[in-house]
Structure 1
Amino acid sequence: MADTSETRSADSAAHGAQRSRLRRLMRYLPLIAPVLLWAVPCWLLLYAGQHWPLPVALAGTALFVLGLVGMPLAMVRGHGRRQQDWAAIVGDTLLGASWVLFTWSVLLGVLLRLALTVTGVGDGQDRARIVTWASLGTAAVLLAWGYVEARRVPRVRRLDVQLPRLGAGLDGTRVVLITDTHYGPLDRARWSARVCETVNTLQADLVCHTGDIADGTAERRRAQAAPLAAVQATRARVYVTGNHEYYSEAQGWVDLMDELGWEPLRNRHLLLERGGDTLVVAGVDDVTAHSSGLTGHRAHLAGALHGADPDHPVLLLAHQPKFIDRAAAVGVDLQLSGHTHGGQIWPFHHLVRLDQPTVAGLSHHGTRTLLYTSRGTGFWGPPFRVFAPSEITLLVLRSPQRLPSS
């Protein structure tokens, strides 16, 4: 027994040391990441096996140094205490551009250079030049396309979702999900209005917003959020907080959504009834709410379901997909989430998977729980979406006992 206890103590100590090292690394990440994002493409495009004329090398290096210095400074002015929108736009754009250039200079620097070597194309200098121009061209095309993708009104993604406990009277219930609108430094009031117009063409019974409405306070982004008042639903419009609300006075957003006619489901539920059958529509605050220090803000699933008939199916709104473990543990039928943006800029989704169980789409958890993760309606930060299109989601709920006329 003593040996077992000592082994467990040693394992605990080892895990504790590993977590401590990880925390230390995360503290340095904001310093390390910008250097890597700018220094690696600079080396690969200007110096790795290449001999550019000195003026070209110096000018290119100066641009990369300017990006390395300018991006953090702009982001601090834009997202720090000053909250200067122009600086946020500059910093966010540079962040997206550096990520795309970093990704494709590394990929093409390895894969294209290897292919050129195998096929015997040119000498080392020629191959290096081809990789440089291919990387710059690919990055430019993807950034232009990604900007258009980010700024357009999302396409509607429609899918039928069968819930085994859903009564026949509720078969065909139309649920529209929007999330992660992230109204921010780029004024998107017209985009917001067009999104709401698209939602209204879907003839929804229930419209849900699963948080991250904006980057900034409700007072500051009110004009962009105002079109949400025009959204139509035959039964209800419901909303839960996301983590970004807790960066920007969350209670102000709860109050504004209530003012716009949306029902904030803050650890509570409502009942959607039709044809003698009932669906429990519940919502919880974001999982980061408790650490915000705001009184009464926390994710409390038991409170959200308090008083609900356990025999009725439950539709749960929770901003982050990782809440699914708690939802599955109590037998929630369907959880709707956002937060991930589908990665937003490929291949960032691989990093998202380190924190979330899913990145996008419908997935099964536990014995009966389904999770739908939206790629988001807007974008955060960098105004680009690359291989991660935005969406407005129409989920048509289906009952296994649906009536023939449904």
Structure 2
Amino acid sequence: MTDTSETRPADGAAHGTQQSLLRRLMRLLPVIAPVLLWTVPCWLLLHAGQHWPLPVTLAGTALFALGLVGMPLAMVRGHGRRQQDRAAIVGDTLLGGIWVLFTWSVVLGVLLRLALVLADVGDGEDRARIVTWAVLCTAAVLLAWGYAEARRVPRVRSLDVQLPRLGAGLDGTRVVLITDTHYGPLDRARWSARVCEKVNTLEADLVCHTGDIADGTAERRRAQAAPLGTVRATRARVYVTGNHEYYSEAQGWVDLMDELGWEPLRNRHLLLERGGDTLVVAGVDDVTAESSGLVGHRAHLAGALQGADPRHPILLLAHQPKFIDRAAAGGVDLQLSGHTHGGQIWPFHHLVRLDQPALAGLSHHGTRTLLYTSRGTGFWGPPFRVFAPSEITLLVLRSPQRSSAP
């Protein structure tokens, strides 16, 4: 038998070194990311063989340098202790703009340049200038379209969801999901009212908000959140906290939603009954709640289901899709989540998938658990949505007994 006792400390030390290196890299990310975002497109658009006139090169480089300095400063003033909304708008807009420009500088800088070489179009300078103009035009179009997508009232996404344990009496139950409204520096009170008007046209039995109501405290964003009080549902309006509530005095948001007539499902449940059948509607605090330091705030599924009849199907509200493993182990039939924004600005969804098990839509987990992940109703930070449209979701719950009837 091999004695591994001598190798374990070395393995542990190596793992510790890797973890330490990762932590150092994460600390450097706020410095490294802006430098890459601004210097890469600056080089590819101005200094990669275009041979622009000197005034053009100098002016363009100066603009990129100004953005490199100005964006982090605006972000700090807008999202740091000062919480200056105007600075946040500037910083967020610059972040979205440079992300799109960076992405397409890299994509077209490689693919289009290669295509031009293979097609033997022009010389090196001509190809470089064609790529630059293509990148600038593509970025401008995507940012204009993305801004319109972010600011519009979301489209309604409708789907039937069959739950094997749902009784026939609850067949056709209409559940409307809104999430990640992110009321913030850009005043969206009118947008909020229009979203609520659209929700009210859907004749919901149950309306759910799965968190990230706003960026800022309830007192500061009250005017934008107030229209939520006009939402109608025949049975209940329920809400759970998201991670952004825990950046902004979460208990204040819980109290405001309660004041507006919503049921904050903080690790508890209610029963939706119809036609002799019962659906357990449960909710948990966001998974970041416990680390917030707020007394009594944590994601506690057992507490949410305490006293519920295990024979009844369970609909669970949990802000982050990553809660699905616990939900599946706890016998949940359907979990509703948000948080991902569908990536919001392509190709950011690749980074989201590193942290979450689902990006958008309906997915299956375990033996019977379904997860629906919304792309979100609003937007966070940069006022753009590129290839990740917002949504108001209508889920019609279906019973197999009812659907199999002649």
* TM-score category, normalised to shorter length: over 0.9
In 2, the alpha carbon distance for the partners of 1:295 and 1:309 equals: 28
Deviates more, 1:37-46 or 1:50-59: 50-59
Q: Give the conservation status (yes or no) of the 8 Å contact 2:301–2:330.
A: no
The one-letter code of the counterpart of 1:247 is Y
Say if 2:204 is the partner of 1:204. yes
Deviation of residue 19 (structure 1)?
2.5
- Residues 254-293 of structure 1 aligned to structure 2 (within 5 Å): 254-293=254-293
Deviation of residue 24 (structure 1)?
1.5
In the superposition, relative to structure 1, how do residues 40 and 403 fare at CA in structure 2: closer, same or farther (>3 Å)?
closer
Question: Where in structure 2 are there 5+ consecutive unaligned residues?
Answer: none
Give SS of 2:48's match: coil
Say if 2:383 is the partner of 1:378. no
Question: What is the aligned partner in structure 2 of residue 246 from structure 1?
Answer: 246
In the superposition, relative to structure 1, how do residues 204 and 8 fare at CA in structure 2: closer, same or farther (>3 Å)?
farther
State percent identity of aligned pairs: 90
Say if 2:1 is the partner of 1:22. no
- CA offset digits 1:272-321 (Å, max 9, x no partner): 01111111000000000011101111111110011111111110000000
Moved over 3 A (4+): 4-16, 403-406
- CA offset digits 1:102-156 (Å, max 9, x no partner): 0000000000000000000000000000000000000000000000000000000
Question: Where in structure 1 are there 5+ consecutive unaligned residues?
Answer: none
Say if 2:273 is the partner of 1:237. no
In 2, the alpha carbon distance for the partners of 1:336 and 1:252 equals: 23
In 1, the alpha carbon distance for the partners of 2:287 and 2:306 equals: 19
Question: What is the aligned partner in structure 2 of residue 179 from structure 1?
Answer: 179
Deviation of residue 364 (structure 1)?
0.5
Deviation of residue 14 (structure 1)?
3.4
The one-letter code of the counterpart of 2:128 is A
- CA offset digits 1:167-204 (Å, max 9, x no partner): 11111110000000000000000000000000000000
In 2, the alpha carbon distance for the partners of 1:299 and 1:6 equals: 40
> May I ask how many residue pairs the two structures share in their alignment?
406
Question: What is the aligned partner in structure 1 of residue 40 from structure 2?
Answer: 40
Give SS of 1:294's match: coil
In 2, the alpha carbon distance for the partners of 1:13 and 1:397 equals: 52
- Residues 76-155 of structure 1 aligned to structure 2 (within 5 Å): 76-155=76-155
The one-letter code of the counterpart of 1:124 is G
Deviation of residue 331 (structure 1)?
1.4
* CA-atom RMSD in angstroms: 1.3
In the superposition, relative to structure 1, how do residues 223 and 308 fare at CA in structure 2: closer, same or farther (>3 Å)?
same
Q: Give the conservation status (yes or no) of the 8 Å contact 2:240–2:317.
A: yes
- CA offset digits 1:335-371 (Å, max 9, x no partner): 0000000000000000000100111010001111100
In 2, the alpha carbon distance for the partners of 1:333 and 1:91 equals: 41
Say if 2:331 is the partner of 1:331. yes
Give SS of 1:401's match: helix
Give SS of 1:364's match: strand
In the superposition, relative to structure 1, how do residues 160 and 57 fare at CA in structure 2: closer, same or farther (>3 Å)?
same
The one-letter code of the counterpart of 1:148 is A
Question: What is the aligned partner in structure 2 of residue 73 from structure 1?
Answer: 73
Q: Give the conservation status (yes or no) of the 8 Å contact 2:338–2:373.
A: yes
In 1, the alpha carbon distance for the partners of 2:21 and 2:336 equals: 34
